[in-house]
């Protein structure tokens, strides 16, 4: 198969495998060959196993030959972020402290994908323990943006987003705590969905901040995003926060258009510091959707401006608790010392990177005696106000339209030594995370410098279908939404 095949939709690939027009093995080999050519340029994967991928594909072909009924994702390659436990496959969370760790079980979403007949391409690079917005905090190496190799792909799911954007895999899973699916999707020009909190089981997702962590799909089209979401959503008894209300999105619903839908724009949140080209894209998309029959109105999210401060109290506090288990005793890296207390200290000091240590310290301080009420408890109260803002705004609007990020992708090294500047990059993604509502980043054009622009749709709980429907309407009228970057090797050939 030609290299153009890797640019086909996951939906088309799955259909061709189920009809036996192509074998899952041939599909897997095509994508593996693509990865071989782009691996050194992009560095999207922390672990790949060609033989294991081909064995999965062969098993799918055997299931089809036996007449088994499989899902539309049969034989479709899927990349997995390296914080999703995968049985007997290295799962490091981009950290030295888990180097060589082989989970004895699969995450719930990994189980679902195996049952569906998906084929795993490998474990993608990410910011250590999902803490970052650029994938520069990986303990191993930074991933590069396929649109510009001098720029970041976003984070923390940068490896997953870059892999999909570059045609290394048609689908990927990431995790989103404060924007870690949506922000890299925006930077790489693909779709990224953060489902409603509880719509997808977190069982087997290595925890960062348990009240915020979510698993979400990354894809090149709205329909592909829905296909992957449909496989992973739903109730799981092993995760008590998962909800039975989560339902699959009928693909036909995505083709209904936007006539009669009300889309709100929170102009009080979109203030100074937003790139003019992103603002222009927001206006352009709003006008295009209005021509399709949507009503555009202003909504207010008055407490959303406090989201960054609120998030960086709550998330580090939960991280300081969740990451206490990495002490060198049960699994992962262990420093060699003669004293037990020294072993704990040296193991965590050497095993965790700078950003992870920073957040553990922030969280431990916020939870400490004498400061709990002043910091963590107050942050939780503001979180309630932010959630109420969304509830009120979404009584007037069916979805909220706003930028995913304030700027296009920035250069590697530009913000890595300025934590505050890095944190502010999540100003538009964090509010929906705190509120627990679904949010979708979709490609909305390109800058004059040929860098992707992503816009975001936020909706009511368990109304992912509405967000995908709006994005599909825009996508169907704009060929730019499906553009794929030409990589350095291709430019030279």
Which residue did the predictor score with more confidence, 336 or 6? 336
Which residue did the predictor score with more confidence, 317 or 272? 317
| Structural tokens at position 369 | 């005696």
Most confident of the following: 140-149, 473-482, 484-493: 140-149
Model pLDDT, residue 2:
53
Q: Which residues are catalytic?
A: 81, 156, 180
Q: What would the mean pLDDT of 78-82 be, rounded to a whole number?
A: 98
- For the cut 50, the answer to whether the pLDDT of residue 489 exceeds it is no
Which residues, 6+ apart, have CB-to-CB distance to 79 below 8 Å? Answer: 44, 45, 120, 121, 122, 123, 124, 159, 160, 163, 164, 168, 169, 171, 172, 173
Burial class (CB within 10 angstroms; exposed 0-12, middle 13-18, buried 19+) of 4: exposed
Model pLDDT, residue 488:
46
Integer Cα distance of 103 and 83 in angstroms: 11
pLDDT band at 479 (very low <50, low <70, confident <90, very high): low
User: Which pLDDT tens digit goes with each residue over 283-313?
Assistant: 999 999 999 999 999 999 999 999 999 999 9
Q: What would the mean pLDDT of 135-156 be, rounded to a whole number?
A: 97
Integer Cα distance of 147 and 221 in angstroms: 18
- For the cut 60, the answer to whether the pLDDT of residue 123 exceeds it is yes
Model pLDDT, residue 492:
41
**CATH number of this structure's domain 3-258+414-492:** 3.90.1300.10
- Other beta carbons within 10 angstroms of residue 414's beta carbon come to 16
3-class SS letters over the chain? CCHHHHHCCHHHHHHHHHCCCCCHHHHHHHHHHHHHHHHHHHCCEEECCHHHHHHHHHHHHHHHHCCCCCCCCCCCEEEEECCECCCCCCCCCCCHHHCCCCCCCCCHHHHHHHHHCCEEEEEECCCHHHCCCCCCCCCCCCCCECCECCECCCCCCHHHHHHHHCCCCCEEEEEECCCCCHHHHHHHCCEEEECCCCCECCCCECCCCCCCCEEEEEECCHHHHHHHHHHHECCCCCCCCCCCCCCCCCHHHHHCCCCCCEEEECCCCCCCCCCHHHHHHHHHHHHHHHHCCCEEEECCCCCHHHHHHHHHHHHHHHHHHHHHHCCCCCCCCCCCCCCHHHHHHHHHHHHCCHHHHHHHHHHHHHHCCCCCHHHHHHHHHHHHHHHHHHHHHHHHCCEEEEECCCCCCCECCCCCCCHHHHHHCCCCCHHHHHHCCCEEEEEEEECCCCCEEEEEEEECCCCHHHHHHHHHHHHHCCHHHHCCCCCHHHHHC
Which residue did the predictor score with more confidence, 7 or 169? 169
pLDDT band at 6 (very low <50, low <70, confident <90, very high): confident
Integer Cα distance of 406 and 259 in angstroms: 29
pLDDT band at 461 (very low <50, low <70, confident <90, very high): very high
- For the cut 90, the answer to whether the pLDDT of residue 395 exceeds it is yes
Which residues, 6+ apart, have CB-to-CB distance to 475 below 8 Å? Answer: 221, 222, 442, 443, 481, 482
- For the cut 60, the answer to whether the pLDDT of residue 145 exceeds it is yes
User: Which pLDDT tens digit goes with each residue over 398-451?
Assistant: 999 999 999 999 999 999 999 989 999 999 999 999 999 999 999 999 999 999
| Structural tokens at position 4 | 């153009």
Model pLDDT, residue 320:
96
Q: Which residue's structure tokens are 């998309």?
A: 285
Residue 458 CA to its chain's centroid (Å): 15
User: Which pLDDT tens digit goes with each residue over 22-56?
Assistant: 999 999 999 999 999 999 999 999 999 999 999 99
Integer Cα distance of 420 and 196 in angstroms: 27
pLDDT band at 332 (very low <50, low <70, confident <90, very high): confident
Domain segments of the chain as ranges:
3-258+414-492
- For the cut 60, the answer to whether the pLDDT of residue 336 exceeds it is yes
Model pLDDT, residue 491:
46
User: Which pLDDT tens digit goes with each residue over 165-202?
Assistant: 999 999 999 999 999 999 999 999 999 999 999 999 99
Contact call for residues 175 and 83 (beta carbons, < 8 A): yes
- For the cut 80, the answer to whether the pLDDT of residue 360 exceeds it is yes
Q: What mean pLDDT value characterizes the chain?
A: 95
Q: What would the mean pLDDT of 261-271 be, rounded to a whole number?
A: 95
Model pLDDT, residue 180:
98
pLDDT band at 356 (very low <50, low <70, confident <90, very high): very high
Nearest to 223 by CA among 195, 199, 250: 250
pLDDT band at 272 (very low <50, low <70, confident <90, very high): confident
Integer Cα distance of 240 and 92 in angstroms: 25
User: Which pLDDT tens digit goes with each residue over 193-224?
Assistant: 999 999 999 999 999 999 999 999 999 999 99
pLDDT band at 483 (very low <50, low <70, confident <90, very high): low
Contact call for residues 107 and 205 (beta carbons, < 8 A): yes
- For the cut 90, the answer to whether the pLDDT of residue 21 exceeds it is yes
pTM value is 0.96
Which residue did the predictor score with more confidence, 11 or 4? 11
């Amino acid at each position: 198969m030609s290299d153009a095949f890797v640019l086909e939709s996951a939906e088309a690939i799955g259909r061709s495998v189920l009809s036996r027009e192509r074998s899952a093995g041939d599909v897997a080999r095509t994508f593996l060959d693509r990865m071989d050519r782009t691996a050194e340029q992009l560095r999207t994967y922390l672990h790949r196993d060609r033989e294991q991928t081909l064995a999965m594909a062969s098993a799918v072909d055997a299931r089809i030959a036996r007449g088994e009924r499989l899902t539309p994702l049969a034989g479709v390659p899927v990349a997995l972020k390296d914080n999703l436990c995968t049985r007997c496959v290295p799962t490091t969370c981009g950290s030295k402290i888990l180097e060589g760790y082989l989970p004895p079980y699969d995450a719930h979403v990994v189980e679902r994908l195996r049952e569906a007949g998906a084929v795993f391409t490998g474990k993608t690079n990410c910011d250590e323990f999902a803490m970052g917005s650029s994938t520069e905090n990986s303990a191993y190496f930074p991933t590069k943006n396929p649109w510009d190799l001098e720029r970041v792909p976003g984070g923390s799911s940068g490896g997953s987003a870059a892999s999909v954007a570059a045609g290394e895999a048609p689908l990927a899973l990431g995790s989103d705590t404060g924007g870690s699916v949506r922000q890299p999707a925006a930077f790489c020009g693909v779709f990224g969905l953060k489902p409603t909190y509880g719509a997808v089981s977190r069982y087997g997702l290595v925890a960062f901040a348990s009240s915020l962590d979510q698993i979400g799909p990354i894809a090149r089209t709205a329909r592909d995003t829905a296909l992957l979401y449909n496989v992973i959503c739903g109730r799981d008894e092993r995760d008590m926060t998962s909800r039975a209300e989560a339902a699959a999105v009928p693909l036909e619903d995505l083709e209904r258009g936007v006539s009669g839908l009300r889309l709100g724009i929170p102009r009080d949140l979109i203030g100074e510091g937003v790139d003019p080209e992103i603002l222009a894209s927001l206006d352009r998309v709003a006008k295009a959707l209005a021509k399709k029959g949507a009503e555009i109105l202003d909504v207010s999210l008055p407490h959303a401006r406090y989201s960054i401060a609120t998030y960086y109290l709550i998330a580090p506090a939960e991280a300081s608790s969740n990451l206490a288990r990495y002490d060198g005793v049960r699994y992962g890296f262990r420093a060699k010392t003669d004293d037990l207390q020294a072993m704990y200290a040296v193991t965590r000091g050497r095993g965790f990177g700078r950003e992870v240590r920073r957040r553990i310290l922030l969280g431990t301080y916020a939870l400490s005696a004498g400061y709990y009420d002043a910091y963590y408890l107050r942050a939780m109260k503001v979180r309630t106000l932010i959630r109420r803002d969304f509830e009120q705004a979404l009584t007037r609007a069916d979805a909220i339209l706003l930028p995913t990020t304030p700027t296009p992708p920035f250069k590697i090294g530009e913000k890595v030594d300025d934590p505050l500047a890095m944190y502010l990059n999540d100003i538009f993604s964090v509010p929906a995370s705190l509120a627990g509502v679904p949010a979708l980043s979709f490609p909305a054009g390109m800058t004059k410098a040929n860098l992707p622009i992503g816009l975001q749709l936020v909706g009511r709980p368990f109304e992912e279908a509405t967000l995908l429907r709006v994005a599909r309407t825009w996508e169907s009228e704009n060929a730019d939404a499906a553009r794929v970057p030409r990589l350095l090797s291709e430019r030279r050939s």
